[in-house]
Amino acid sequence: MKNQICTILGGGGFIGRYLVRNLTKKNYRCIISTRKTFEKGYLKTQATPGAIELLNWNPNNFSELKEAIKNSDIVINLIGILYETRKQKFYNIHSNIPEVISKICSEVDVKKFIHVSAIGANENSKSLYQKSKKLGEDKALDNFKKTVIIRPSVVCGTEDNFTNLFSKLSILPVIPIVGINYKFQPILVTDVADAIVQAILVKDNEQKIYEIGGPKVISFGDMVKSILKTINKKRFVVPMPMPIAKLQSTITDLLPIPPILTKDQCEILSEADNIVSNNHLTLKDLDINPSNVEEEMKKWLWRFRDGGQFAKA
């Protein structure tokens, strides 16, 4: 049987490396678009020779990508940013790219377009991140009828920017938390990858939205305390007033890479919790039983303990 071809935008990122492995196990051929193919060679070790092709893609030029999509059965968009830089803006990344990709999909014989967004996508949000995510969803759904949206909560895993960040911050005696009572539903990256594959396989889910989260709803402050407990560190976790956080972020936003929170992220923490709303399909509809992130993170956070993997848990 002819192997199906899957083009993945952003396949060299955090979620992508796990997704590619899942797809190749199911005999998909993967075309991975990335801006720096020379940095993504490790992806080719996840399958037999020829099963993975790296496509050097400039987001300002869609011609080569269009050729790849023409020959694809499935297209997946994983591209996203957490903060803006001089060259990367929310509306360009989260809205314009899915708009163009979905239009290309509508012109050729693509069976399904999976667009990965985020819980909290909302056109009425004060956050440009959330507004741009919702606009991207709407454009994708409008342009291509075989679009499926996946909205994960905070994604955690070995390479994440959440559990690792607060483990590094354990060098401080006091850890201030903005939005200490903000609730979210952390989900393991492998569960997100499984959900995307299942969304491809499930029939008649076009134009549907899946909101996916882990098995536990937890506050920001309690999650940081759980991280500290995992790495055997005793630190004071204290709330930081939002006005002070916004003032601080106004200054840190000027840096090339903001150290912790941006002003836009402060807006997110001021709004609705980042949890599954039950207004859309969920992991249950994909027959996935999510892993407990607090248990799983012990497998990668051991390196932050005094004594590393040999330290007492």
Name all domains of the chain by residue range, CATH numbers in brackets: 5-155+186-213+275-290 (3.40.50.720)
Report pLDDT for 195: 98
Residues 134 and 194: beta-carbon distance below 8 Å? no
Average pLDDT over residues 259-263: 84
Note the pLDDT of residue 80. Answer: 95
Instruction: Please give the DSSP secondary-structure letter assigned to residue 184.
Output: E
**The pLDDT of residue 75 is above 90:** yes
Instruction: Name the 3-class secondary structure at 125.
Output: coil
- Per-residue pLDDT of 113-150, as tens digits, reads 999 999 999 999 999 999 999 999 999 999 999 999 99
Digit-coded pLDDT (tens) for 16-69: 999 999 999 999 999 999 888 888 888 888 888 889 999 888 777 788 888 889
Q: What is the pLDDT of residue 50?
A: 86
- Position 313 scores a pLDDT of 56
Q: List Cβ neighbours of 258 (8 Å cut-off, separation of 6 or more).
A: 83, 249, 252
Which sign does the torsion angle of CA 226, 230, 231, 234 carry? positive
Give me Rg for the CA atoms of the chain. Answer: 20
Q: Looking at mean pLDDT, say which of 35-39, 237-241, 250-254 comes out highest.
A: 237-241
Structure tokens, 256: 């090339």
DSSP 19-47: HHHHHHHTT-EEEEEES-GGG-GGGGGGS
Q: 19 is written with which tokens?
A: 């997704």
pLDDT at 255 over 80: no
- Please give the model's pTM, rounded to 2 decimal places: 0.94
Mean pLDDT of the chain: 92
Q: Is the pLDDT of residue 164 over 50?
A: yes
Higher per-residue pLDDT: 248 or 199: 199
Q: Which residue has the tokens 């309690």?
A: 222
